[in-house]
Amino acid sequence: MKRLIECVPNFSEGRDPAKVDAIVAAMTGVPGVYILGREMDADHHRCVVTMAGEPDAVAEAAILGAGTAMKLIDLNEHAGAHPRVGATDVIPFIPIEGVTLEDCVALARRTGEELWKRYRIPVFFYEAAATRPDRVNLENVRKGQFEGLREQLKNNHDRQPDVGEPKLHPTAGVTVVGARKFLVAYNVNLNTSDVAIANKIAKAIRFSSGGLRYVKSMGVELKARNLAQVSINLTDFEQTPMHRVYEMVKREAARYGVMPVGSEIVGLVPKKAIEMTADFFLQLEEFSPAQVFENKLAAALSGAALEKTENTELTKLARPFLDAVAGATPTPGGGSVSAFAGAAAAALGQMVAGLSRKKKSQAAFVDQLSGELDALRKTGEALTAAIDRDAHAYAAVMRAFKMPQTTPEEIKARKEAVQEATKGATEVPLEVVERTVMLYEQLGQLRAMSAASMRSDLVVAGLMAAAGARGAMANVEINLDGLSDAGYAQVVRSKLSELRGRLERAPKAEAPQEAPAS
């Protein structure tokens, strides 16, 4: 299996192409690293480079880029609209294929140590790699920027770096290194130069101020264009998509008599994010990712099937999974089947919402159905991923049981490994329970706005969601029986009891349709 990560280092240089060329050249020299793009912004005085490749090669490229930036950028002479604490301000690692977020955390830690060892640049860790809760959010680490942090390091113990001495590199400052999911940098420009309005809008939409989940934002003045900008980071574009953010910015802007005059994406964006936005704004009927040429071509080359058609041999699609379940091996087992049942329920829900959305009889519910469709897609994808995750989690339990136990030390290590792996095998089906119960509730609500002709499909979806939830509950309970941590088991059992109650109380998608009045 290929092991691929993305890395998006941010450098505090957006006005001198020669300096950026030199930084990129240093990174390009590492074999196996692919530079996918770079964005320079004079107002922000910042450059964002996107690269991908094998984890160790990408980390080495980031380190070399930071070394070159240290030589070329002096923060004492730097000023721009974007906050910064380092010449190489941020280095995030993002898992793409064959790599977990935990792998990226370990890579971030090694990279931080190497930056200090080679260049004496102090390092802070953030997001998933943070060593303290108050450093998860990047804005907390950058508070005060280069100048403010330089003063605080003199006497504020809470601001000490995670790696290196408690003082800034004299010209390169510090570097913030982390691991995170795919982030979309998305900016909306306004038809005003009043940055105070942009700041008010940013405050209204960002999560830390009570706005949208997974949104970070601030107001920025674009002096060169005489515009104000709402600068946005989407830390989970699937949970809070770009179109939802744009619509909220537009609505908030109207309160101050202004409006968006354009938006921009900084760096690269997943194709899925654009597909979701196109589907929302165009209200495409029966839209499928298979209608995107590149997706269809990739599917053809790989032999995968992306769309539902009359000519699809459904048995061939289902057979590999059914054969795997039927095989004389412990995985995939009941946990994977429970996740599959939930994923199938979400898929049926998507079909119901998508078809209902184009019915004239349901015109009053179009916006609601569009929102439900987005939510069902996210839930379905999470449950689909859980099919493999459950199998992998139980495989870890089996590996732990096979550990040697010939000495007291080995017996102790095996016991601890079994307990840890069993907890992991409990967490995955517990997440499936949470998602399928939420899905069951959503399907019940969908009943009121879906077309009458789709009710039987909704009934099946509800039954599948309930089956997925109850099956996953059984998997959680049997794993709890093997745990010695009574406190943990009690917490999980309490959560199961709450979820079981929600399942029983939820409006039922599979309730029989009322008979017509005579």
Domains annotated for the chain, with CATH where assigned, are: 4-179 (3.30.990.10), 184-282 (3.30.70.670), 313-505 (1.20.120.680)
3-state helix, strand, coil in the chain (%, to 5): 55, 15, 30
381 or 298: which leads in pLDDT: 381
Determine the average pLDDT of the residues in 107-131: 95
State the catalytic residue, choosing from 41, 162, 279, 390: 390
Given the residues 45, 78, 82, 169, select the one marked as catalytic. 82
pLDDT on residue 70? 96
**Closest C-alpha among 397, 426, 441 to residue 493:** 426
State how far Cα 389 lies from the chain centre: 16
Instruction: Give the strand pairing for 175-179 and 123-127.
Output: parallel
Residues 203-209, mean pLDDT to the nearest whole number:
92
State yes or no: is 390 an active-site residue: yes
Q: What is the mean pLDDT of residues 26-32?
A: 91
Distance CA(321)–CA(327), nearest Å, equals: 10
Here the tokens at position 269 are 């964006």
Cis before 516? omega within 30: no
CA distance 77 to 100: 39
Question: 355: which 2 tokens?
Answer: 């078809």
Tokens of 496: 């199961």
Its pTM stands at 0.51
323 is catalytic: no
Question: Tens digit of pLDDT for each residue in 422-480?
Answer: 998 999 999 999 999 999 998 988 888 888 888 899 899 999 999 999 999 999 999 88
